[in-house]
Amino acid sequence: MNFGSDNWSGVHPAIWDAMGRANTGLVPAYGRDDLTAAAVAAVRATFDAPQAEVFFVGTGTGANALALSQICPPWGRIFCHESAHIETSESGAPGHLSGGAVLALVPGADGRITPDALRDRLACYPQLDEHDGLNAVLSITNASECGRVYGPADVAALTAVARGVGMLTHMDGARFANAVAASGASPADLTWRAGVDVLSLGGTKNGCMAVEAVVIFDPARAAGFRFRRMRAGHLWSKHRFLAAQMLAWLDGGLWLDLAGHANRMAADLAQGLDTIWPVEANEVFLRLPRSRIASLRASGLRAADWDMPGDDADHAAIRLVTSWATTPEDVTAFRALL
C-alpha cells in the first residue's frame, strides 16, 4: 500500500526497452542525434504545434526554472498558486536560474487559481514605476498539486487575465499527462490554444526515468534557450537517452494510457470516501483522525502528511498518490484496511 508519490515508481517496461534499443553504437552527443530529432517531432505532433521549439532536460525543477527564466526578466514577478511546486519545493530555483525573478503567491483552496484570485493579487502590485518590479508571468500547475484539473476553458480564462496585463503564461505540467487523461481535452487545447506560452511537460512521474520537455510554442520566444540549458548544466551529453524515453512515452499514446491508469486507481481508491477535494487526477486527499492515520501506517500504508487548514488536534490530512505502477491490489488492500 505505497502511495508515497508517483516519483517512487520505476520505469515502464516499454520505455526501458526503448532506452535499451538506443544503447547501440556511437552516436553524436548533445542532441545532434536522430533519436532527438524524432523525439522533438513527436512532441510537436502530439501538440499539433509544428513550429514549437522543444528542449529536453532530466528534472522537473530544471524544466520549470529554465522555462520560467526564458519568459520572465530578472526583474519580473511570477504569479503562482501558494501551493505551487515552484514555491514550495524547488528551494528558489526559479529565482536562481532566472537571475532574480520573484514569486507572488495566489491563495486558493485546491491548488487552482481562479481569475478573481489572480486579479486580486495583481491589484497588490500596481505598475507605477520601476520600484514595483514587473508583473511578467502567470504559472499554473496542471494537474494541480492537489490533484485538481484545469480544463481548456479554465486555462483560457486565466491566460486572458494574464495577457490583459501583458503577462505570459507558463504551465507546470509535471502531471500534464494526468490532466489530459482526466479532462479528455487535447494537448493543444489544454495549452497553446488556451493561451499557454511555455509548458514543462513531465515524463518522469509518469513512467519515464528522468525526462521533461520544455515546449516553447512560439519559436520567436525560444531565442537563447539553448544557452540557458547549457550553462545551468542541463544539457546531457548522451542525449539519446533522454530522447528515447520521450519517444517511447508518447508512442502510441502510452503516456495517456499510463496516466489514465493512475487516474483510475485514484478514483477507485477514493470511491465513496469523503475526500477533501474531488479526485480528478492521481491524487487523493483525506482528512482522518490522527489515531487512524497512525494505525494505517502501522499496517503498511505509505502516504505523505499534508498540513492544511482544517487540521486540528485530532484530525490531519494525508495525500495518497497513484501512478502507472499502482496495482488494483494496492487499492483493494487500502480500502479493506480503511
Positions in 278-317 near its own copies (CB under 8 A): 302, 307
The residues that bridge with 79 in the sheet, in sequence order, are 104, 138
Are 245 and 209 in contact by the 8 Å Cβ rule? The answer is yes
Which residues, including other chains, have CB under 8 Å from residue 170's CB and lie 6 or more apart? 64, 67, 68, 71, 78, 137, 138, 139, 140, 196, 197, 198, 199, 200
* Residues 161 to 190 in contact with its own copies, rule: CB under 8 A: none
The beta-strand segments (E) located in 142-228 are: 168-173, 198-202, 212-216
**Minimum distance, C-beta of residue 134 to its own copies, in the bound complex (Å):** 6
Q: Is residue 220 involved in binding its own copies (CB under 8 A)? A: no
| Choice from 14, 38, 59, 110 touching its own copies (CB under 8 A) | 59
**Minimum distance, C-beta of residue 122 to its own copies, in the bound complex (Å):** 12
Binding mask 113-152 for its own copies (x = CB under 8 A): ----------x--x--xxxxxx------------------
Of the candidate spans 150-158, 176-184, 223-231, 251-259, the one that interacts with its own copies by CB under 8 A turns out to be: 223-231
| Choice from 175, 228, 261, 319 touching its own copies (CB under 8 A) | 228
Alpha carbons 21 and 159: distance in angstroms, whole number:
41
| Choice from 14, 38, 96, 110 touching its own copies (CB under 8 A) | 96
Measured in degrees and rounded to the nearest 5, phi and psi for residue 111 equal 85, -5
The nearer residue to its own copies, 102 or 333, going by C-beta atoms, is 102
Residues touching its own copies, count (CB under 8 A): 78
Beta carbons within 10 angstroms of residue 114's beta carbon: 16
Of the candidate spans 90-98, 109-117, 188-196, 280-288, the one that interacts with its own copies by CB under 8 A turns out to be: 90-98
**Minimum distance, C-beta of residue 186 to its own copies, in the bound complex (Å):** 27
Give, in degrees to the nearest 5, the angle at Cα 274 between 271 and 279: 55
Helix (H, G, I), strand (E, B) or coil at 217: coil
Q: Is residue 109 involved in binding its own copies (CB under 8 A)? A: no
Q: Is residue 209 involved in binding its own copies (CB under 8 A)? A: yes
Q: Is residue 21 involved in binding its own copies (CB under 8 A)? A: no
Residue 59: closest CA among 220, 172, 216, 196: 172
Q: Is residue 9 involved in binding its own copies (CB under 8 A)? A: yes
